[in-house]
Chain A
Amino acid sequence: MERLGLPAVRIPARASEPMPAAPGPFVLVTPTYADGEGRGAVHKQVIRFLNQESNRAQLKGVIASGNRNFGIYFAHAGAVIAAKCQCPCLYKFELAGTNNDIERVRKGLELFWQHQHSTNHRLQKA
């Protein structure tokens, strides 16, 4: 996330730390923890965060990391959250991501937010 250089809020890994609230529309970036059958793909803390209706309402998309060596469950958290929260899975990358991944996500998010703005604008006019 630091390498991306975009504003971000971190969801703490420990349940004991205070859970932040979504400051506005956001894209969630998450690792994957799935076992061989794809169970448990989403970290419990991420689920806790998304269980909060006000957070979920602002979720516009998800980006997931993982490892291709987990086969069909590569970055499975992205698919699970997309299905559960009805938002698009925008991108999957491996481990900490290559510089190429960072570039694509930065450019992709830029276009994505532009598109979101224009859609909102149209909706307001209608």
Chain B
Amino acid sequence: MTIHSTIEPAARAVNWNRLQDEKDLEIWNRLTSNFWLPEKVPLSNDIQSWATLTPDEQKLTIRVFTGLTLLDTIQNTVGAPTLMPDALTPHEEAVLTNIAFMEAVHARSYSSVFSTLCRTAEVDEAFRWSEENEHLQGKSRLILKEYRAASHPLKKKIASVFLESFLFYSGFYLPMHWSSRAKLTNTADLIRLIIRDEAVHGYYIGYKFQKSLAQLSESEQADIKDFAFSLLLDLYDLEVKYTEDLYDGIGLTEDVKHFLHYNANKALQNLGYEGLFPENICQVNPAIMASLSPNADENHDFFSGSGSSYVIGKAIATEDEDWDF
């Protein structure tokens, strides 16, 4: 007779007053204070603007948003959950549940755009297209392969940061482009909320990646870095083809590619690596930059001026109680 006695560790309740990593609470607070739902954005104000797009522009927009929906769906159902078993702290797991849920909100919000602006048949066509487009399916496959449980925990994080900080941007480009032409501006507001969330996700997962990476030997670190750069290049090849598929028709492919390079470099920085693409091919159209961060460029480049006119900040509400003066 054999007796199987397995001693299971006690189930543990998460104690937010005992932190192993203060970053977990900082990010939890950031994410929860950023919480939003698509109902917050008056999308119906874009109905008239939608009618000014040509049929081809409408079709492109629906396809782009369907592609984005697919990435958010992957991140919601596979990407964020697959990082949970690798969490270093119980608080990290809690943050990942927030990330997973917000991905569901993102995926859901594209359907709000569709139901407000588009006809059902057009949307159904786009969802079919997303299942058949080889480049979109190709990048999903590459990412999902790394998310499989057998994959190295750090490789999962690399794939996740590339999805969060790089793969979305071929899609995000288009609403920023429309917004720079004063079109679909409410939809652009919704996309900016998504972009803000993805920025925190990419930063946080990249931060956890760098923490774990520091524990490895130099040769293991070198392997991981090789993996990261080669995955990025594989994804980049697919992104270029995907971009050409979508944007050749309206002549924006080259502009989008610059935006891809710029974001690929930022994704690498989230992982603690140097950028890969030289700066001359990362110069993003200023209209797109202004659309990403409206008003942020006013007066900021003091150095390009003569240096004689001081622009001192206007009064800004700083409710922060820590200031003493």
Contacts and interface: CB of A to CB of B under 8 A. Distances in A.
B15 interface: no
B269 A88 contact: no
- Quick one: which of A44, A89, A96, A112 has the most chain B CB within 10 A? A89
- Contact size range, B: 35 or more
18 contacts: A39-B320, A48-B322, A61-B302, A68-B296, A70-B293, A78-B300, A79-B313, A83-B314, A83-B315, A86-B313, A88-B302, A91-B301, A98-B275, A98-B279, A108-B302, A111-B303, A115-B307, A115-B308
Given A42-B318, A48-B322, 4 more contacts: A68-B289, A68-B296, A74-B296, A90-B302
B295 interface: yes
Contacts of B282: 98
B7 interface: no
B285 interface: no
A19 interface: no
Contacts of B275: 98
A105 interface: yes
Given A71-B192, A71-B293, A108 B322 contact: no
Interface string B251-277: 000000000000001100100000100
B323 A47 contact: yes
A40 B296 contact: no
A17 interface: no
A83 B316 CA distance: 6
A29 interface: no
The 3 lowest CB-CB distance pairs between A and B, nearest first, are: A108-B303, A82-B313, A83-B313
